[in-house]
Structure 1
Amino acid sequence: MRRATEQTADLVRAVGQERLGDPTPCAEFDVRGLINHLEWVAELFESLAEGGPRVEQGPYAGDFPERAGRTLAAWEKPRAWEGMSPAMGMPMTTLAHMFLVDMVVHRWDLARAVGEPYGPDVEAVARALGFTERMVEMGRKRGAFGPPVAVPEDAPPFDRLLGAIGRDPGWKP
C-alpha cells in the first residue's frame, strides 16, 4: 500500500497544469478529474481507516500527495485493519485491497494520460490481481469496474488486471 501510494503521489506531483485537460483511460475523467478522484479516494479511505463515514467527493483541490500521506498514516494504525467498516459493511482488509487496486491502476491511468513511463510494482500487482479476481463481479455490480476487456491468457499480470476491470492495456491518448 505504501509503495503504490507513494509512487502515485510522486506521479501526481510531476503532472503540469497544462496536462489537466488531457484524456485518460478512464472515459469519465480527464487528468484533472482523475486526480480529483484520487483526492476523494485518499480522503475516503482515511476516514474508513479511522472508523469514520463514507465521505463525498469534493471539488479538485490539487492536494492528493498530502491526502495520501494522511491516508497512509491512518492505515499504519493496527486497529485500521481489524473488523468490519461500519460505513461500508465490509472487512477492513477488503477496503485496504480496494485502495491498493485504485493506487496501482490509477497510477497507470495517469501515466498513460501524460506520457510518463509506468513500471508496475510486481508485488502490488500480484496482490491487486488476486483480490480483483475474487471481487470483480461485486465490483462490476457496484459500478467500480467496467465490462472486461479481453487480453491473452498468457498476458503479463498487470495487463490481466487491467482487462479484468475493464481497461484496455493498449490504450493511448
Structure 2
Amino acid sequence: MTDTADARPLLPGAVDRVTARVRAVRPDAWAAPSPCTAWTVGDLVAHLCLEHLWAPHVLAGTTMDVVGDRYEGDLLQGDPRGAWERAVARSRPAWTATDTHAPRVHTSFGWIPVEEYAEQMLLDLTVHEWDLARGAGLDEELDPVGVDRALAYVRGEPVMLTGPGLWAAPVTPRSDEPRDVLLALLGRPV
C-alpha cells in the first residue's frame, strides 16, 4: 500500500469515469478485442461487473466462501450497459459509506486491510478504464490523480501483482509519462 492517504474517497470518481466509458461504447464495439488478450470489450465489462457486485460484500467483511458463486454465469445478459449500471448502483454507495467498512476484508489474496482493497480497486478501475477505451476506440486519457495513485501502488510491489495471470508481463513504456509507465508495467503497449 502507498504511504499517502486512504484511496477510498477516489473510488466513486473512478467508478463514474468507467461508467461514462461504458455508456460511450458503440453497439458494434462490444465484441471488439480489448488489450486484455482473452477478453472482448464485453468480457472486460463483465469482469468489472463481477468486481463491483462483490465489493459491497467484501467491504462488509463477508468472506468469499459466504458470497459463494452467486455471481457466476452470464452477468451481462445481453445488456452490458445495464449490467454495469446495476453493479455500480450497489458498489458506488458502498465505497462512500466508509464508516461501515470492515477494517480487514477477505479477497482472493486472503485477509487484507480495507485500505489495501481500495488501492486494488482503484488500480483495477484505472487500468481497465484504459483497456475499455482502447478496445472500444474511445479517448484514452485517464485521470492523472488516479494514475499517480495506481502507479505508486504498483511500484510498491503489492501482492496482487505476484498472482499468476492477473496482469501481462511488463513492456517498455513509450514515454516517462505516468500513464504510459503504469500501463507498461502492467503489460499494456500504448
Q: How many residues align?
A: 168
Structure 1 residues 166 and 137, CA, compared in 2 at 3 Å: closer, same or farther?
A: farther
Most deviating of 135-144 and 29-38: 135-144
- Gaps of at least 5 residues in structure 2 are 1-10
Deviation at 1:16, TM superposition (A): 2.8
> C-alpha distance in 2, partners of 1:138/1:37?
16
Deviation of the 1:15 alpha carbon: 1.5
Aligned mate of 1:134, from 156, 159, 162:
156
Compute the TM-score of the two structures, normalised by the length of structure 2: 0.80
For 1:51, the equivalent position in structure 2 comes to 61
**CA offsets 1:106-164 (integer angstroms, 9 cap, x no match):** 11111111111122111111111111111356413343222111226x51101111111
Structure 2 counterpart of 1:159, from 170, 180, 187:
180
1:85 is paired with a residue whose SS is strand
Q: Is the 8 A contact 2:123 2:150 kept in 1?
A: yes
Partner of 1:67: 87
Give identity over the alignment, percent.
27
SS at match of 2:157: helix
How far 1:53 moved relative to its partner? 3.0
In structure 1, list runs of 5 or more residues that go unmatched: none
Separation in 2, partners of 1:42, 1:51: 15
Task: Give 2:145's aligned residue.
Answer: 123
TM (normalized to structure 1)? 0.87
Matched residue, 2:26 = 16
Is the partner of 1:4 in helix, strand or coil? helix
State the Cα distance separating 1:167 from its structure 2 match: 1.4
| Partner of residue 143, structure 1 | 165
The structure that is strand-richer by fraction is: 2
Cα RMSD between the aligned structures? 2.0
**In structure 2, what residue type is equivalent to 1:2?**
P
| Distance (Å, rounded) in 1 between the aligned partners of 2:123 and 2:146 | 8
Residue type at the aligned position of 1:20: W
Q: Is the contact between residue 22 and residue 30 of structure 1 (CA under 8 Å) also seen in structure 2? A: yes
